[in-house]
Amino acid sequence: MIAARQGCHALIYPAAFNLTTGPLHWELLQRSRANDNQVFVSMCSPARDMSAGYHAWGHSMVVDPIGKVIAEAQEGEEIVYADIDPKVLEETRSGIPVTTQRRFDVYADVSKA
Per residue in 69-112, pLDDT tens? 999 999 999 999 999 999 999 999 999 888 788 888 898 888 77
- Give the fold, CATH level 3, of 2-112: Nitrilase/N-carbamoyl-D-aminoacid amidohydrolase (3.60.110)
CB 74 within 8 A of CB 99: no
pTM, two decimals, is: 0.88
At 14, is the secondary structure helix, strand, or coil?
strand
Strands 69-72 vs 61-63: parallel, antiparallel or unpaired: antiparallel
pLDDT (tens digit per residue) in 24-55: 999 999 999 999 999 999 999 999 999 999 99
* Domain boundaries along the sequence of the chain: 2-112
Handedness of CA 104, 106, 108, 111 (dihedral sign): negative
